[in-house]
Amino acid sequence: MHPLALLGPVANYVFLRFVGGDAESEASEEQRYVKESEKKRGQFLEYKSTKNSFWPRPEEFNNPWTWRVAAAGVAGFALERGFRRYIHR
């Protein structure tokens, strides 16, 4: 794997986390909660400070859904690899 191949995923992460995607979504949610309820805004800010939309915290590895999502990703990768090998025979 060429080191330049890492630029795509890194650029995608930076864009989705800080430019578009999450950044826009979080900003619009916060503005909406300011208008609706200060309590709701406080809950959102607390949630935002404890969660990361991309990477689970170490405590979350005890959550069985974390492992199910990871297993689904691995299974999808394996299926795609098998499918590509079968097609390119």
pLDDT digits (tens, 9 = 90+) for 15-34: 877 777 777 777 888 888 88
What SS3 state is found at 53?
coil
3 and 33 in a single domain? The answer is yes
8 and 43 in a single domain? The answer is yes
* pLDDT value for 1: 66
8 and 51 in a single domain? The answer is yes
* pLDDT value for 81: 92
Sign of CA dihedral 78, 83, 86, 89: negative
Ranges of residues in the chain with a pLDDT under 50 are none
* Tokens standing for residue 28: 């619009």
How many domains are there within the chain?
A: 2
Backbone angles phi, psi at 37, to 5 degrees: -165, 130
44 and 62 in a single domain? The answer is no
* Tokens standing for residue 17: 């986390």
24 and 66 in a single domain? The answer is no
Rounded distance between C-alpha atoms, residue 72 and residue 12, angstroms: 21
Question: Per the confidence metrics, is the pTM higher than 0.95?
Answer: no
For residue 60, the 8-state DSSP code is: G
Domain hosting residue 4, numbered range: 1-55
3 and 42 in a single domain? The answer is yes
* pLDDT value for 8: 86
39 and 71 in a single domain? The answer is no
In one letter, which amino acid is 74? V
